[in-house]
Amino acid sequence: MALPLALSGQDLIGQARTGTGKTYAFGIAMLQGIGKPRKNRKKPRGLVVVPTRELAVQVSEDLVTAAGKLGSRVLTVYGGRAYEPQVEALKAGVDVIVGTPGRLLDLVKQKHLDLSQITSLVLDEADRMLDLGFLPDIERIFKLIPDERQTMLFSATMPGEIVALSRKYLNRPTHVRAEHENGEGGEGIPHPQVRQIVWRVHRMDKIEIVARLLQAEGRGLTMVFCETKRACDMVAEQLETRGFAVAAVHGDLGQGQREQALRAFRSGKIDVLVATDVAARGIDIDDVTHVVNYDCPTDDKTYVHRTGRTGRAGRTGIAVTFVEWEELTRWKMINQMLGLDFAEPEETYSTSPHVFTELNIPEGTKGVLPHASRSRAGLSAERIEDLGETGRTRSRNGGRRRDEREERPARTPRQRRRTRGGMPTEEGTAPVETPEVEPVPSRSSKATARKTEETPAIISADEIEAAAEPRRGRTRRGAASAAIENALADAPEAPLTDREPVVEQKAEREPVAERKPTRERKPAAERRQVVEQAPAAERSTEEHIAKEQVVEERVMERAPIAETSFSTPPPPVRQEPDRIVPASPFMVIFQSPDLATDDDDIAPSAATERKQARRQPRGGGGGNNGGGNRRRAG
């Protein structure tokens, strides 16, 4: 029905279930309208926009097959491949371009692709493009092509967004809807030649049921759909360990790996393909007999497209759907939308008898494929094509399968030899030659050496031991002062003349560093006079401070005596800082003077000022205030 309308040049909206030949419906009409290629015509005349890379490859292969007699030049452009081959093909000239929206706009932005001569535009799987967020890109593509064109939209489902898009960009389109004679085949109706099986299963038992399903009699190629990329990798890895020839296809794999898996699946080197919804649209592979929904679909459209991978072109197939307990509500909505009879799925386990009878599985089949049945070549037999991929591979295996990874070479054992002081501990072994390295003295060794140099030879061993004893951290200030006074009273005072040569000798032997200027101190007579003139309450504190300062001066004056006997000064005695403690806690240390006099006027309060303002006559006075009062009064 769609082919005569498309050949006449009318805008068209085609809706039919997957596997009914929509690609040839618009492909033959497009190729017929473009005609045979010409040497002077290098810009494309036909454009097909698809949502996924796998679908772009599928449509391009069908168009190449259809254009075998005409010789039309068909180019496929999509992301993940190198730009250079696509740019060279565009320069040589093409007739039809099949691509994804992102790569098409990239080539237009780089001025390698010109869409000004497009006469026929096709949006395949338009609903999927809207679900993926390609609506802004599609609107930009519509603005780049001429207004005088033929536009065709094809999809298995037709939501309201597609209808709104067709009203905006299509010119009086004809809606063609393919149905069977019994009225089935409307929007979102599963294929009648596909037998539907829905089971309520446990999450931990899914992989065991799949392993036994893959050993059913008469089973051909099988596709297993998962919801996430991580689930795809997990299912593929577990099935591979059980002996099945399996490969995964999802968005985190490189384009070369995805095409390698699809080629191996088409050629029969593997018989199980685990994929996300990227492979649920447009993938037309012969002999797909079973489809397994490992995870429950999100909506009715996803269920229709997944199960549409089998039972294509008049064939029959089996679709098995697993529903977990927490997914029952979602499945009931899908069941109601599609009009199925599985509102309450049967509770099923891997050992349930109806699993073997409904799927024609031999009795006694286990979850591991026997070695005698492992006849597939596997994914490693398919070569990975070098596509000059853009971007990086984000797969968990780092872009290589487990059997293709390079094994790390084993480490050579280290030969250790015990030595002591550079000499081997065992007899009969040669000493290990080590380079002589001058030891670097540490901070503690430097301090010890400095102490050893500064310690005089006159000091006895008893004095050294006494100096090494730990000192008490805290002592009473009065006891320490009394001990110092007693020690100074017993020590004889040496004449000043005896100390001068020693100081000069020391200056000649070792340069003395400049001392920092200190605070000048008052003579002792002046300090005593200040103490006597102080009040009685403060005199005790002042006397105590003056007394300690006098003691400190005597210590500083008698310090050179130690130099005469030991030739090097001993380390200074650490004293605690003085604390000023008043004699009475109620004593007034400072009292601020009263600067007020009797002649000062008391400042009026705010209430007094308001009273004075009320007493002033309203009519008197000029200026702004008088004028304001008159305005308020009037």
Full-model pTM: 0.58
Average pLDDT of the chain to the nearest whole number: 75
| Domain 2-177 of CATH type 3.40.50.1820 | no
Q: Which long-range contacts (CB under 8 A, 24 or more apart) does 504-511 make?
A: 506/563, 506/567
CA pair distance 31, 521, nearest whole angstrom: 112
CA pair distance 595, 573, nearest whole angstrom: 49
Q: Do domains 2-177 and 194-385 have the same CATH topology?
A: yes
Beta bridge partners of 76: 98
Q: Is the dihedral of CA 132, 133, 139, 140 positive or negative?
A: negative
CA pair distance 154, 27, nearest whole angstrom: 11
CA pair distance 143, 145, nearest whole angstrom: 6
What lies within 8 Å, CB to CB, of 560 at 6+ separation is 499, 502, 503
CB 52 within 8 A of CB 195: no
On the question of pLDDT at 364 being above 70, the answer is yes
CB 177 within 8 A of CB 12: no
pLDDT in tens, 42-101: 899 999 999 888 888 888 988 988 888 788 899 999 988 889 999 999 999 999 999 999
Amino acid identity, residue 313? A
Backbone angles phi, psi at 98, to 5 degrees: -120, 120
> pLDDT value at position 619?
56
Residue with the larger pLDDT of the pair 547 and 534: 547
Angle, helix 524-533 to helix 536-566, in steps of 10 degrees: 160
Q: How far is CA 385 from CA 247, 254, 256, 258, 289, in A?
A: 16, 11, 6, 10, 28
Which of 274, 268, 272, 270 lies closest to 294, judged by CA?
274
Helix ranges (DSSP H) in 67-111: 83-92, 101-109
Q: 595: pLDDT confidence band, cut at 50, 70 and 90?
A: low
> pLDDT value at position 585?
63
Residue with the larger pLDDT of the pair 282 and 23: 23
Mean pLDDT of 339-361: 93
Q: Where are the domains of the chain?
A: 2-177, 194-385
> pLDDT value at position 534?
55
Burial of 397 (0-12, 13-18, 19+ CB in 10 A): middle
What class is the 194-385 domain? alpha beta
Q: 505: pLDDT confidence band, cut at 50, 70 and 90?
A: very low
Helix ranges (DSSP H) in 515-586: 524-533, 536-566
> pLDDT value at position 625?
47
- The segment with the largest mean pLDDT, out of 146-150, 172-176, 424-428, 603-607, is 146-150
